Amino acid sequence: MKDTDEDFMQLALEQAGLALNNSWIPVGAVFVRNGQVVAHGRKTGINHPLFDHAEHNGCYQALWSREGPRNLDGFTVYTTLEPCIMCLSMLMTARVSRIVYALDDPYGGGGFLLKNPSMLCPRFQEERPVITGGVLQEASKDLLRQFFSKQVGAKNWSDKNNPLVKLVMG
C-alpha cells in the first residue's frame, strides 16, 4: 500500500461495502495514525440507529485501542460520506487532526461548520481538524446509489425528497 488518501479511502469504501452487504446504508470509516489503520467503523445494527454511524463506531474503537492519553491527536479519519454534525462534534472532541471524506452530504453534512469557524464554540475555533472532501467520491456515490435504488422502491420509503438521495440518484 502506498499510504495515500486514495488508498485509505479505498479501505473505508470496503467498510461501506460490508454495511451494504448487510442492508445498511453504505458508509464506512477508517482511523489512521502514522500510516497505520488503528480502527474502522460502519453501521452494524448493534447500536441504536440514531447513533450507529461509521465515524461513531470507529471513534470508540480507536479511543479504546489507545494507551496513554485518551484522544486521537495525530489521527486522520477517512470516511465515505461527509460526517454529520454529531459525528463531526465527536471527532473534534476526540481531537482528530484531519478528516478526509469522499462525498459531500447536502442533507446532514457538518463540514460547513469547519469552513465557518465563527459558528463553533471558542474551543473549536482554535483547535479544529483539517478537512478534505472529494476523495473517490464516485465510488462512494455508486455504493449509495445501490442502496437507495433498493430503498426508493420500498413502499415505506419516505425520504425521496432527501437532498442526498437526489444527489446520488441524479
Question: Strands 75-81 and 98-103: what pairing?
Answer: parallel
- Judge contact between 10 and 137, C-beta under 8 A: no
For residue 64, the one-letter residue type is: W
Pick the catalytic residue from 6, 14, 55, 138.
55
Distance in angstroms (rounded) separating the CA atoms of residues 129 and 109 = 15
55 is catalytic: yes
For residue 90, the one-letter residue type is: M
Hey, what's the cell of 9? 479511502
Locate all alpha helices (DSSP H) within 66-136, ordered by sequence. Answer: 85-93, 111-115, 122-126
Active-site positions? 55
